A = this chain, B = another copy of it.
Amino acid sequence: YFSLITQEAEKHRHYEDENEWSCGSWLEYTVVVVLASVLLLGSLGLTLFWVFQYRGGFAWRENPAKQFNLHPVLMVAGFITFSGFSVLLYRICRCCRRIYVKLLHTVFHALAIPCVAIGFLAVLDSHNLAQPPIPNFYSLHSWIGLVTMGLFAIQFVVGFFSFLILLCCEGATAGFRSALVPIHASFGLTTFMLAIAASVSGLTEKALFSLPDTYSQWIEEGIVINALGVSLIALGILVSFAVRSPTLKAGSKVVWMA
């Protein structure tokens, strides 16, 4: 009799869960996935549009001013678009096997590394090769950016080692790995937020350096820069919502166990 009640309760709970996922939760899932994809790709597209439409496109060391343009594009690509999709994978992939999601998460972050590295080199070169050279690392933007890069590197190394290499002795490391998951997730979200703070301060710097007299006249380029900043901030709100949402989390609980 007792077992019957339990079975009944189990069935009922299961039914409720499924029912929940057939209406509001699927709507939330769809809205988050579509909106996040639009914003992640849109902000990269807007950065490219800005750089090509108003800043003369790309160059390498022969033209330090244009070499600088690689910096915003590659940093947005690495820290926002690739990293953002990499984080959201754990919410988007509802049916894949956990190990595939993990590997994709690693691949997306690995793709971010060359972006960030070349983006960093581009701004160093554009400062050092300018006539006269521009000093490095004096601004709030550069300080935030350095901390973001450091945290990103630590997260990648610790994550790669703990969640992939340690799988070789799966049983013995299960406790350690599952204890590390919330820490890795928190620091990951922190890195994403720091990247957005770095972007916002960097966009403000660039607007004031490049449009000293015209930014305040509501010119087109200024509005494009502001719109880029606003969409990055919207992404920060949306990604932190998606990562914390109990609805989106519950369904993909299986992939959260490392």
Binding site for B on A (CB under 8 A): 134-135, 138-141, 143-144, 186, 190, 193-194, 196-197, 200-201, 203-205, 207-209, 215-218, 222, 225-226, 229-230, 233, 236-237, 241, 244
In the assembled complex, the Cα of A226 lies from the Cα of B237 at a distance in Å of: 24
CB pair A197–B194 under 8 Å, yes or no, is no
CB pair B203–A200 under 8 Å, yes or no, is no
Known contacts A186-B241, A200-B200, A201-B204; is-contact A233 B144 (Cβ 8 Å): yes
In the assembled complex, the Cα of A3 lies from the Cα of B190 at a distance in Å of: 46
Known contacts A197-B196, A204-B201, A208-B208; is-contact A229 B135 (Cβ 8 Å): no
Identity of the chain B residue whose Cβ is nearest the Cβ of A134 in the assembled complex: B216
In the assembled complex, the Cα of A230 lies from the Cα of B193 at a distance in Å of: 13
CB pair B203–A236 under 8 Å, yes or no, is no
Interface centre among A197, A205, A216 (most CB of B within 10 A): A197
How many copies of this chain does the complex contain? 2
The 8 closest A-B pairs by CB, nearest first: A140-B229, A135-B216, A201-B204, A204-B204, A140-B226, A208-B208, A138-B216, A200-B201
| Interchain nearest-CB distance for A127 vs B (Å) | 10
In the assembled complex, the Cα of A225 lies from the Cα of B201 at a distance in Å of: 13
Chain B residues closer than 8 Å to A194, beta-carbon distance? 233
Identity of the chain B residue whose Cβ is nearest the Cβ of A138 in the assembled complex: B216
CB pair A205–B203 under 8 Å, yes or no, is no
In the assembled complex, the Cα of A88 lies from the Cα of B21 at a distance in Å of: 34
Known contacts A205-B208, A226-B143; is-contact A138 B241 (Cβ 8 Å): no
Could you write out 25 A-B pairs with CB less than 8 Å apart? A135-B218, A138-B215, A138-B216, A138-B218, A139-B204, A139-B216, A140-B207, A140-B225, A140-B230, A141-B204, A143-B226, A144-B200, A186-B241, A193-B237, A196-B197, A197-B200, A197-B233, A200-B200, A200-B201, A201-B204, A204-B204, A204-B205, A205-B208, A208-B209, A244-B244
